[in-house]
Structure 1
Amino acid sequence: MADALMVAEPLGRFGRLRTTEASVAEDVVSRVYVPHQLSPLDREPLDARLNAVQSGPLTLGYLAYGAASKITLPPTETWIHVSITVAGRTRVYRDGVQCATTTGRGSGTILASHQAQVVECDRDTAQFVLKVSRADLEDHLATLSPCPPVAPLDLGPELNLTHRAGRSLLRTIDLVCAEWDDDGVIATDGNSRRHAEELILTQVLLASSVTHQAMLGGGSQTAGNDVLRRTVEFIHDQAGDLPTLADMTRVAGVSARALQLQFERHLGCTPSEYARGVRLRCARDALLYPGTEETSVTDVATRWGFYHLGRFSALYRQTYGELPSQTLRHALRR
């Protein structure tokens, strides 16, 4: 029964910890994330589990203690931890004052790198915990905005998972975990993994709420026709390299929000949606004119950045009125 539970949990193939001993749980979780103190809040034995993977600058893990617990974290100038509650509830304290409460798939918290904090978890609490260096997150923020980031980066304690950016972050983490569990393209292909890492960092920044938001918004920045032209040309020229939003903002020289407003105003879509349309047309060309009889829909889809074949087929059919397999089958007959 325990083995079945491990498989059912996110990242179940990557178990780092399964114990009833608080000292063992404290040691293992400290080594994966950051040194801390773990204190059970009642006499109920722990059922502590940690499944975790390392992906570029990110550590992504699924953590549950199985008993009411208190985690005391010292300040650290190096790391930022994002805790996304997927079940149960937590309470977060800074300097003895409660600053956030999280609920399953409704909210999370960002644990500041420069303050001591205490997190109390209910018995049924389970969380996705992201660990990223503050320097990497600030560097990523710099790629999304022409303004220099404020240091130290302050993301605030609360992360709303019911708003648009928070829902996107949760969906992306669910997808990434499923890809690792299934040995999918994101887990096995370096280029795909890099895009997923950048997407998670972008969504963390957009879902949080404090000082950096002005840098990601349009503000007084304007994007003229040259910005739109440069970005569109870049998307077409680099479609095969699967450019990210960060790549586009570097070329455009404006913030992510300003670039999005320019695309929506003139093209009726976001930069990412436009890039997806370009990649979809490239995929269609590859299916219409396959190089060899060994060409497959899977090969074409993943080559152009579509890693979920069901969604790719649905989008393709909606756009072109037939399934990608039908396009390829007719082309091979010719």
Structure 2
Amino acid sequence: MGVDVDPKVRDETIVASDAAGVQSAVAQLSTRIAVRDIGSPLALRQRIVGDDRLLLTSFGIDTHLHVESAITGAVAIARRREGDLRTVTNGEEVDAGRPFLLRPGRAESWSREVTADILSVDLPALGAFTGHDESALHFGATHILSPELQRHWDLTIDHVTRVFDDPELLHNPLIRQAAVDAVFAATQHAFDIRSVADRPDTRAGTDAVGRATAFIDAHLADPLSVGDIARAARLSVRGLQNAFARVLDTTPAAYVRGARLAAVRAELVAAEPPQTTVADVARRWGFAHLPRFAQHYRAEFGEQPSETLRRSR
């Protein structure tokens, strides 16, 4: 069966045996790359395959090579198979003996008789996959966080390699997208990629919780969803939940319930019992299930709502 041409797909192999060919080959990995030193005799083979979201480069060279590059609009993840490799990313030397991530910025590498796989992940595509703007992404680790995550990541990369090696699968947009999405998910978890606002070591969480609670207090009588609160806090839903857990040791939903219980209590305290019922006040503040409401109220204030109403003036 024939394979339709997909303009998004890239599949090219480069073989070089001179310095100009090597320079041209490595320039395919980045628009801003420079070969600083190269040995001889030369024998380079490089295959680049993938699409506009993810490119997989299989690279091999039979001599020593020193390159410097500026990584922009993407992150690169490398997996050495054989040979000697030393790499520095933004001034930090990484252990090239296991898969490593090169953050956006300056990278430099020295290799000798090396074969490696290099994944180039498009930042806007990764941001869209995670639900964050690319400028808000934080790359928490240059190495995979645990042996279990590394096993999963290796299996995922082996799977996308098999997909990319099969022309029929490579040119099937649904299969290719599923394989690339799997790489994005495995990479996100393996290297702790998250939104800056989700980071536990910044003040952003505390400030965001302040914005969230102010929004809740101002709209307590209105329908509130976690999404509404997250947008007001300028966080993702996950970031909002993490921030509330870290700062207030609770969830956004529990905070809303507590605030509404306090509003019920204030109204019951000020009520005139003959004209006011617990059910009316509870429903006015969004509590439709009265037995569950009474349980929450007693847990919060140590008494039944009817007791609060009886003591009112």
Partners of 2:157 and 2:199 lie apart in 1 by: 22
TM-score by length of 2: 0.54
Q: 1:212 to 1:166 in 2, by over 3 A?
A: farther
User: What residue is the counterpart of 1:206 in the other structure?
Assistant: 189
Contact residue 32 and residue 71 of structure 2 kept, 8 A:
no
Partners of 1:116 and 1:70 lie apart in 2 by: 14
Q: 1:192 to 1:211 in 2, by over 3 A?
A: closer
User: What residue is the counterpart of 2:93 in the other structure?
Assistant: 99
Question: Equivalent of 2:55, from 40, 59, 71?
Answer: 59
Shift of 1:87: 2.4
User: What residue is the counterpart of 2:107 in the other structure?
Assistant: 117
Question: Equivalent of 2:151, from 164, 167, 171?
Answer: 167
Question: Equivalent of 1:48, from 39, 44, 54?
Answer: 44
SS at match of 2:167: coil
User: What residue is the counterpart of 1:180 in the other structure?
Assistant: 164
SS at match of 2:28: helix
Q: Percent identity?
A: 15
Partners of 2:14 and 2:141 lie apart in 1 by: 27
Matched residues, number: 196
Shift of 1:255: 4.7
Shift of 1:173: 1.8
Q: 1:112 to 1:152 in 2, by over 3 A?
A: farther
Amino acid in structure 2 at the alignment position of 1:26: Q
SS at match of 2:31: coil
Question: Equivalent of 1:35, from 18, 32, 35?
Answer: 32
Unaligned runs of 5+ in 2: 1-10, 201-235, 242-313
SS at match of 2:139: coil
TM-score by length of 1: 0.50
Shift of 1:153: 2.6
Partners of 1:193 and 1:33 lie apart in 2 by: 23
Alignment of 1:81 with 2:80, yes or no, is no
Shift of 1:59: 1.1
1:136-181 CA distance string (max 9 Å, x none)? 2122121xxxxx5683533256223862222222212222222333
Shift of 1:194: 1.0
Shift of 1:32: 4.5
Partners of 2:40 and 2:58 lie apart in 1 by: 21
Shift of 1:72: 0.4
Partners of 2:94 and 2:136 lie apart in 1 by: 20
Partners of 1:98 and 1:191 lie apart in 2 by: 38
C-alpha RMSD of matched pairs (Å): 3.3
Amino acid in structure 1 at the alignment position of 2:106: A
Shift of 1:35: 2.8
Q: What pairs up with 1:1-334 in 2 under 5 angstroms?
A: 14-40=11-37, 43-76=39-72, 78-94=73-89, 97-103=91-97, 107-113=98-104, 115-123=105-113, 125-142=114-131, 148=132, 151-156=135-140, 158-160=142-144, 163-183=147-167, 186-209=169-192, 212=195, 215=198, 255=238
Structure with max Cα Rg? 2
Amino acid in structure 2 at the alignment position of 1:87: E
Q: Greater strand percent: which structure?
A: 2
Contact residue 179 and residue 187 of structure 1 kept, 8 A:
yes
Amino acid in structure 2 at the alignment position of 1:46: L
Partners of 2:57 and 2:145 lie apart in 1 by: 18
Partners of 1:56 and 1:201 lie apart in 2 by: 13
1:24-81 CA distance string (max 9 Å, x none)? 122233135333112345x4323211111123411111012222211101253x2222
SS at match of 1:88: strand
Q: 1:64 to 1:34 in 2, by over 3 A?
A: farther
Shift of 1:192: 1.4
SS at match of 1:71: strand
Shift of 1:196: 0.7
Unaligned runs of 5+ in 1: 1-13, 143-147, 218-252, 259-334
